[in-house]
Chains A and B, each alone.
Chain A
Amino acid sequence: MTAREAVLTALRSARGLPVGEQVTEPIPVLQVEGDPTHAFERNARALLAEVHRTQGWQAAWQHLESLIRARGWQTAATWGASAFPQPGLADVLARSGCRALQPSDWVSADVGITGADAGIAATGTIVLASGPGKPRSVSLLPPVHVALLAESRIVPTIEDWLVVNAQALPQSAGVVFVSGPSRSGDIEMVVTLGVHGPGEVHIVLVCSE
């Protein structure tokens, strides 16, 4: 008998939990009060992400450009152009003199620029799903991560997003929920940022015009 059969047989014949305990279908518990976009902003800031509110994609790209200039980022790792809802990234990089690196050099990039598949209002989280043009390491390797999130993609809770997207989840080998910069409290509970992932997270919120 293989280990698989042995284990499954043992589980099937196990006594298990005592019967009698009622289990019901889950209903959402955590809810968002007020405007989801405002809740998103507030909660993302509480996680130490910086939120930049802009009106429309035009303004969003402009804001990204000024951010790159102000911070002096020279090199970038980015999602593919087709992974953003609107074109504009290539122009921003060209105008600001920031060079888009090849994947093999991403580990030395100053900034990683991605879109976002969703925003979670209750916690200020962004959702990134892997796929063509959407590599996972862009939001992971550089010390700074900038994500452009369309306001229309904000949903109230993690649960809302998971339940709606459950069947589509397997289309991405890796989905990640990002809530602020990478952090650790392992050394005497002092919070330090940027342990393995980015120590700085910017969310450019693209509101409808």
Chain B
Amino acid sequence: MKPVAKDFIPASRIALADDHLRKAIFAGAMRPYLQAAERWAETSGRERLRTQAREARVRALRKLPELLERLEKNLLSRGAKVLWAADAEEANRLIAQECVARDARLVVKGKSMVTEETGLNQHLERAGMEVVESDLGEFIIQLAGETPSHIIAPVLHKSKDAIAKLFSERLGLPLTDDPAEMMRAARSYLREKFLRADVGISGVNLAVAETGGLVLVTNEGNGRMVTTLPRTHIAVMGLERVVESWKDLASIVQLLPRVATGQSVSTYVSIIHGPRQQGEPDGPEELVLVIVDNGRSAILNSDYAESLLCIRCGACLNACPVYRRVGGHAYGWVYPGPIGSVISPLLLGLAEAPDLPMASSLCGACRDACPVKIDLPEMLVRLRAEPPMRRKGGRMMSLGMKMWRYVMLHPSVYRWGLAATRFLTRPWHGEDGSLRGLPGPASAWLESRDLPAPAPRSFRALYRGPER
């Protein structure tokens, strides 16, 4: 996916003007998630489980290199192959090499954020392979030539009518408004692909260093298909997704579905410990794990290391008032919502996504929703102060801030300024008691905000008592 995170402001304007997107989908479709979140918020043990999940992730990040080496060693001992990629380009190249070496024509993919991040599909297609996404949502996105708009529910932005139309055009399914019928059409189309595929590529939700296990969580079962049927399974993992022990894994796996979709448990949790072992009747003959850095080690070396605790549950998206209005596409890259506003600038470079850290009201809802208690608002504020962002406001902004500071430190100037403002803005006092149509830079500021006109008597005047 080509990042266009630079265009957050124009993209969000377009999204805001799209009534269908805002009302039909984000109000209606997300309701089950939000209700589930509320139910979960009342569950006893929630806080302890959150604390443990966070501690499991903290423990892992503190020992990251050691855990990755242990994971590698364990997997190698069972006949898997482990590859390391420093960046997106290297990851794509290594994966393509593995596919080409096996003469792969058809590759089926399970849901994977990191290959979305590296743009693997286009890379493999350019090398002449057919690449098929098999998560129902990702499959729809792929058919439509679009990009996901939510970490957990990639087609949140698409109405079922639009999907029906797409399926009738691309799969020859007669128009229907029954989601089950659409699902069945996708099932039989993908079935055939699974059975023919040469290579299955999956993401990794978490890996456990203790024994070298890869954990995949899905509801549809596509993760199982991809890791069971093709002769070769290539798992692609961001290097931060490792935890130390099965005990640690248990805390996270018990928490993830509750915050992500409101389920008490995901339908399938697969634990993979290598290629098919001796005596086993099925499963892939080869397993390749690709460990991808692509900017993560740099994040670990920054003030934003905490963002690597993320388990990609999507709860902060659901909770965010900005995400809920503009949707995922406005964020311009793989990771939308509050977590995207933090990690997109870090992974792409601050200059590539200068507006994302501003896309927050700092209300704190994301921090409360986050199962591993990442302090997202705090990081957004810190990002706003990074040099390239600071420059963005320009000289006018810093001059304005200096003046503001001076005024706030001098009560007499403040008093005088207030009276002057009341007098000078009089021509623009609107009938509804707010300021309307101010000239100059103020007009831009008021475009998306209401500012009440100054009251006829200030609070200080009222405090002094009735006018004599």
Contacts and interface: CB of A to CB of B under 8 A. Distances in A.
Contacts of A25: 247
A197 interface: yes
A27 B247 CA distance: 9
Contacts of A119: none
Given A176-B268, A178-B267, A186 B137 contact: yes
A13 interface: yes
B374 to A, nearest CB: 11
B315 interface: no
B254 to A, nearest CB: 6
B228 A7 contact: no
Contacts of A136: 224, 228, 282-283
A185 B153 CA distance: 8
B453 interface: no
Interface in A156-209: 157-159, 162-163, 166-167, 169-190, 192, 194-197
Contacts of B90: 3
A159 B136 contact: no
A24 to B, nearest CB: 6
**Interface bin, chain A:** 35 or more
Nearest to B161: A188
A133 interface: yes
B277 A24 contact: no
Among the interface residues B64, B195, B210, B264, which one has the most CB atoms of the partner chain A within 10 A? B264
Interface residues of B, number: 99
A34 interface: no
Contacts of A46: 264
Given A133-B281, A174-B227, A195 B187 contact: yes
B190 interface: yes
A3 to B, nearest CB: 4
B350 interface: no
B246 A163 contact: yes
Interface stretch (B4-12, B15-23, B299-307, B338-346): B299-307
Contacts of A190: 160, 179-180
Contacts of B154: 186
B436 interface: no
Interface string B24-66: 0000111110000000000001001100100110110110110
Nearest to B219: A183
A176 B248 contact: no
A158 B250 contact: yes
Contacts of B274: 170, 173
Interface stretch (A66-74, A85-93, A123-131): A123-131
Nearest to A79: B281
Given A2-B84, A7-B84, A181-B267, A174 B55 contact: no
A36 B227 CA distance: 32
Interface string A1-44: 01110111011111111100101111101100000000000010
A168 B275 CA distance: 16
Nearest to B46: A29
Nearest to B249: A162
B264 A196 contact: no
Nearest to B278: A132
A84 B172 CA distance: 44
B298 A10 contact: yes
Nearest to B75: A170
A14 B297 contact: yes
Among the interface residues A3, A16, A173, which one has the most CB atoms of the partner chain B within 10 A? A173
A125 to B, nearest CB: 6
B271 A166 contact: no
Interface in A40-57: 43, 46-47
Interface in B121-138: 134-137
A135 interface: yes
A140 interface: yes
A195 B224 contact: no
B273 interface: yes
Nearest to A187: B179
25 contacts: A7-B297, A11-B297, A16-B301, A23-B62, A26-B248, A26-B251, A103-B281, A131-B280, A132-B281, A136-B282, A140-B221, A140-B228, A162-B246, A162-B247, A162-B250, A166-B210, A169-B211, A170-B211, A174-B271, A176-B224, A184-B137, A187-B155, A187-B160, A197-B220, A197-B267
Interface of A: 2-4, 6-8, 10-18, 21, 23-27, 29-30, 43, 46-47, 80, 103, 107, 122-125, 130-137, 140, 157-159, 162-163, 166-167, 169-190, 192, 194-197
Interface of B: 28-32, 45, 48-49, 52, 55-56, 58-59, 61-62, 64-65, 68-69, 74, 78, 84-86, 90, 134-137, 140, 153-155, 159-160, 163, 179-180, 182-184, 186-187, 190-191, 194-195, 210-213, 219-222, 224-225, 227-229, 239, 245-251, 253-254, 261, 264-277, 279-283, 291, 293, 297-298, 300-302, 305-306
Given A47-B265, A136-B283, A169-B246, 7 more contacts: A2-B84, A12-B65, A80-B281, A170-B74, A176-B224, A188-B159, A195-B187
